[in-house]
Structure 1
Amino acid sequence: MHVLVLYWHPVGAEMRPAVNTHLHTLDMLPDLEVEYCNAYVELPDEVERAHWDAVVLHTTFLCMRWSDAFTAYALRIAWLAKRECLKIAIPQDEYDHSEILDEWLYSLGVTHVFSNFDEGPRKLLYPILHDRASFSVVLTGYVNQEIVESARAQLLPIAERSVDVVYRAADLPYWFGANGQRKVAIGRLVARGADELGLKTDISSRPEDTIYGDGWTRFLLSSKSVTGCETGSTALDRRGEIQASIRAMLAADSALSFTQVAARLPAGWDDHPLTAIGPRHFEAVATKTCQILVDGHYSGILEAGRHYVGIAADFSNLSDVLERVRDDAPGLQMIADTAYEDIVGSGQYTYARLAEQFATALGTRPAAR
């Protein structure tokens, strides 16, 4: 079977290991001839002329739907609509320009969508495709076996780690809703509370402090705990209109707070719990770093009190949680060990699982475990 995978990544830029592993999941399947084409540059003419049994539209490729250059970008790939083959889309951030995504996939004749959400919000996210395409529920990321193996050789007991709490997150704009603001707030609040207790932290939202590759694994291995919350959004921005409205407000008054902006937007704009477990949660598990997370569903995989120490949504118990980080290394170790056994040890959340879903969609043999 001849499969084309279209992705988008700036030439010469380093790709995060989680993204690279996700992109190359098809390499785990036998009997496939896979060609990866980076749509960051003009696709060679032979890509359009070649015979493909299946075309996979990677999440990085589909992210172009919110680019200012989207119209020209979509025209470059319009030839795909005429191809009679399997077409599999793997979008993420489906709440962002959701109707643009839905229309684009429909116009290209996508036959199968790998969605991060179950059928509950499906019609909301895909008003056209929800009953026209086949859907499979997948995760935003999985246990990366390379990180597991790398970490295993470097693991220290939590009591012997030099940092108490670590965290990295970008300052997300207001149009990601309350959950986006929560990602920003938790770093700030944990840093302040930890400082009051004399804990050692490495917490930043500055772009220049972003950590890539093996450095990220070492970063997690250095710390007793890592904080965070669910990935995703509580805002549904169907065509980018929420973003446009917020940009206009901030252009007129850059000092507006999130609360002030939210009050000026249509009722219910931020009432969509489109959140999930993310790759960084699996990376923390793989390094046996105890997670202190805002309570959430985490795709039904992480359980508060068993796999992570729960922080109330209003942060009312944050002091107690940080005191536990300071005083209860054995308890943190037990949670980290349990998470490792249940998630890494079970083998249920590896990229082989995603490969099996690809195999089903493609009608091929599954990956060997």
Structure 2
Amino acid sequence: MIKKANVSTTNPLDVILLSSGLNGDYVPTLIDHVTEIVRFSKNNIYCHNFVYDIGIDFDFDSFDVIVITHNFWFKNLHKDVREKIKKSRALKIQFLQDEFLYIDHVNKYMNEMGINIICSVTPKETHERYYKSDKIESLINTYEVFTGYVSSTFSNPSLFNLTDRPIDIGYRSRVPYPFLGKLGYEKQKICENFKRISKENGLVSNISIHEEDRLYGKNWIKFLQSCRTQLGTASGWSIVDFNGEVVEPVHRFRLENPHSDFETIWNAVLLEHEGNLVAEMLSPRIWEYASTGSTMVMHEGKYSGVVYPWVHYIPIKKDYSNINDVVSALKDRKFCEKLSLNAHRDLILSGRYDYRLLAKTLDSIIEEHCFVSQVPIRKSLVKENFDNYMSKSHGQIYRYGKNGRKLKFEFGAIPYVYRHLSDAILRNLPWIGSAIRQAGGSPTDRMTKGLASLRVGMGQPAWRELIKLWLLSRDNRRSIPVAWLLRDILLLAIMAAQRNGLGPILKSPDSPTKGLGMRVSSSQVIIYDMPIDSGEIGWTDSLLSDELQKSQHFILWDRTQCLKIRKFDATLIFSWPLGRKTGLFRSEADEYYHMRGLTLMASSHPSAVAKAIMAALKPMPSNRIARLAKLLRI
């Protein structure tokens, strides 16, 4: 039998916080979520960041409350562990985000785990449509929470300044999933539109939705502080998939119609589902913009009632009918500074939206709903003993406490310490560090790809010539990021390796990749995979050079004949061995690999670019193949 306990006057309760964050630093918002709950909650929080590896012998009954973060998929949790959580005497609280996929499946798993409380980022009035009490028998209540809060990092007043901002418009995001609907597509729409708008109006911009251009940590803060304004849209979706009725048809359509843009997919598959359940909320980016003094330029939206147009941000009508007013306001530095000051005052200095609010909400939920079984009160856990258990059993190297997250230096921490030191050293190297900071992403990953590019580039005459021309031209160095050029040279090397039978062979349902072809139009050079040996492709260096001289050509690699997009990926992804490491390569939203460095180089050096491309497509003699294998360390 279970009874409700009045815990308002009791000692702090023991709460196990389960996440799949491991020891990583790759999702700052998740790190903040875990760290700040521990820091500000009045209860004793014990962090288990290896939820997928949790054993069926784990004693959940040692805790009064089980809190599960939003960053794991229920199916990956062993069914016996799900059953054990359900049988536990503890109150079960589930945090959820990205609540647009397989909702019926999510309900099924939460029912199996006996979830009592759901903390959702969707509007409270829609919760009954997502999480029905007849499907989750143990459900007591649901609560609406933000997607993120102001972290200790971004509540620091010293981050705010309004000077030395050479970039007019900045933006970083990622390619959205098509099945998010029109609302999700806005992230890509604002990026594409403002690349054009900034160019037309003489504004300096740094805008990207490329995964490899994303910035983290100090580099992200420096980027924000270098931009006068930042673009933004509401987070959320305008389509919800309850049982695969959206995701499955979208995936089939994309397999059958590669390179389809969002509008094509929407008209063919998504139109009938658009608006079936809309969830629009603010993005945690808003706190970061307000903290660093970047004026927000965003699509009109509700933004959870936190920010208001012309008070905190410059609003863009979704049909862009007011774009002239937006550009005028954006160019007015004094007006932009006024909005930045308003946002900083109301969102950051007020303290209304920091993680104390989330911790207070969680504590209130626990106080209102916590249940205890009619058994003698046990002694509280010793936190140091739990931390030692996590370190020994799972290699968890971070300790979480009231002073934040700290690394406990021990043998298991050496790889992480080494990586952090390596990243810091790489970011601060002369010249190379500047290129790495500009490129974004993981410095170690960038360096791995960069070194591989230099090895193969310097070892092949045609590719070496490209590097030489870039180094000798000041205009090239200013207009073409070195990271773009090196990535393209590495892609050419991968093409050559594939063409000559080196490295992994990509397989489609029908046949392996064995060759490459090329087609040239008045504006594009498209290199494409072929399931059969291509033999001679019908082009020479001089013919291709002549075409490149006529007009600007966008140089693309099409892998869709032999590499198929996966169901839950927004873009194509393939991996390639780079010595002892593996590099991941993501396409653009249109499923092409855009070779941006070569495209820009072709404007001034068409002959060199033509030779570099043809060097990758022509069969190589055996001695060159052996050298390429050595340079790629295959």
1:148 correspondence with 2:155: yes
Distance 2:137 2:348 in 1: 33
Amino acid at match of 1:140: T
Give the letter for the 1:14 counterpart: D
C-alpha separation in 1, matches of 2:58 and 2:23: 22
Instruction: Determine which of 132, 139, 142 is the counterpart of 2:146.
Output: 139
Give, in whole Å, the separation in 2 of the partners of 1:154 and 1:263. 44
Is the 1:95–1:125 contact (alpha carbons within 8 Å) kept by the matching residues of 2?
Answer: no
The within-5 A match list for 1:5-16 is: 5-9=17-21, 11=22, 13-16=24-27
In structure 2, do the counterparts of structure 1 residues 135 and 30 end up closer, same or farther at CA, with 3 Å as the change threshold?
Answer: closer
Matched, 1:37 2:44: no
Does 1:47 find its partner at 2:58?
yes
Please give the alpha-carbon distance, in whole angstroms, between the structure 1 residues aligned to 2:41 and 2:232.
37
TM alignment of 1:186-265, pairs within 5 A:
186-265=190-269
Letter in 2 for 1:134: N
In structure 1, the residue corresponding to 2:269 is in which secondary structure? coil
Q: Is the 8 A contact 2:168 2:203 kept in 1?
A: yes
Residues 122, 130 of structure 1: 8 Å contact kept: no
- Measured in 1, the distance between the counterparts of 2:293 and 2:263 equals 37
Amino acid at match of 1:57: I
* Residue type at the aligned position of 2:319: D
Deviation at 1:319, TM superposition (A): 3.8
TM-score (norm 1): 0.89
| Aligned counterpart, 1:57 | 68
Q: 1:74 to 1:24 in 2, by over 3 A?
A: farther
* Match in the other structure for 1:102: 107
Q: What amino acid is the match of 2:186?
A: R
The Cα offsets for residues 222-249 of structure 1, whole Å up to 9 and x where unpaired, read as 1100001001111111123311110101
Deviation at 1:260, TM superposition (A): 2.7
The reply on whether 1:120 has 2:125 as its aligned counterpart is: yes
Tell me the secondary structure at the aligned position of residue 146 of structure 1.
Answer: coil
Structure 2 CA distance for partners of 1:250 and 1:6, relative to 1, 3 Å: same
Q: Mean Cα displacement is larger for which, 45-54 or 119-128? A: 45-54
Q: Whole-Å Cα distance in 2 between the matches of residues 258 and 107 of structure 1?
A: 36
> What is the CA deviation profile of residues 166-185 of structure 1, one whole-angstrom value per residue up to 9, with x for unaligned ones?
10111112111111211111
**Range that drifts further, 16-25 or 242-251:** 16-25
Q: Which amino acid aligns with 1:275?
A: E
Give the 3-state SS of the residue equivalent to 1:89 in structure 2: strand
Between the two structures, name the one with larger relative contact order (CA 8 Å, sep ≥ 6): 1
Q: Number of residue pairs matched? A: 354
2:231 match: secondary structure: strand
SS of the aligned residue for 1:145 comes to coil
Q: Which residue of 1 aligns with 2:296?
A: 291
Separation of aligned partners in 1, 2:108 and 2:247: 19
Aligned counterparts of 2:289 and 2:76: Cα–Cα separation in 1: 39
User: 1:332–1:30: structure 2 CA closer, same or farther, 3 Å change rule?
Assistant: closer
Contact 1:221–1:287 (CA under 8 A) maintained in structure 2: yes
CA distance in 2 between counterparts of 1:182 and 1:329 reads 26
Aligned partners of 2:23 and 2:49 also within 8 Å: no
1:163 aligns with 2:167: yes
1:4 paired with 2:9, answer no
Residue 448 of structure 2 corresponds to none
Question: 1:3 touches 1:55 (CA, 8 Å); kept in 2?
Answer: yes
Give deviations 1:243-300, integer Å, cap 9, x for gaps.
1110101111113332232233365412032110011111111112100000000011
Deviation at 1:76, TM superposition (A): 4.2
Distance of 1:76 and 1:220 partners within structure 2: 43
> Per the alignment, in what secondary structure is the counterpart of residue 219 of structure 1?
helix
Instruction: Give the corresponding residue for 1:344.
Output: 348
Q: Which has the larger radius of gyration?
A: 2
Looking at structure 2, the residues matched to 257 and 130 of structure 1 have their Cα atoms a distance apart, in angstroms, of 42
Whether the aligned pair in 2 keeps the contact of 1:29 and 1:359 (CA below 8 Å) is no
SS of the residue 1:90 aligns to: strand
Query: In structure 1, what residue type is equivalent to 2:194?
Result: V
The answer on whether the counterparts of 2:100 and 2:180 sit within 8 Å (CA) in structure 1 is no
Q: Which moved more, 1:82-91 or 1:339-348?
A: 339-348
Structure 1 319/73 Cα, relative in aligned 2: closer, same or farther at 3 Å? farther
**Relative to 1, partners in 2 of residues 1:54 and 1:306: Cα closer, same or farther, differing over 3 Å?**
same
Q: Distance in 2 between matches of 1:142 and 1:91?
A: 15
RMSD: 2.3
Write the distance in 1 (CA, Å) between the matches of 2:33 and 2:229. Answer: 25
Q: Partners in 2 of 1:117 and 1:31 — Cα distance?
A: 26
- The residue that corresponds to 1:20 in the other structure is 31
Change beyond 3 A, Cα 1:45–1:153:
same
Q: CA deviation at 1:318?
A: 2.6
Deviation (angstroms), 1:219: 1.1
- The change in CA–CA distance for 1:309 and 1:141 in structure 2 (over 3 A counts) is same
User: Residues 235 and 308 from structure 1, CA distance in 2 versus in 1: closer, same or farther, beyond 3 angstroms?
Assistant: same
Letter in 2 for 1:21: D
Partner of residue 174 from structure 1, selected from 172, 178, 196: 178
2:312 is aligned, of 301, 307, 310, to 307
Assess, with a 3 A threshold, how the Cα gap between structure 1 residues 131 and 52 changes in structure 2: closer, same or farther.
closer
- Compute the displacement of 1:359 (Å): 0.7
Contact 1:59 1:90 in 2 (8 A): yes
Displacement, 1:125?
Answer: 1.0
Alignment match, 1:84: 89
Percent identical residues: 21
Q: What amino acid is aligned across from residue 329 of structure 1 in structure 2?
A: R
1:123–1:130 CA contact under 8 A, matched in 2: no
What is the distance in 2 between the residues matched to 1:126 and 1:285?
33
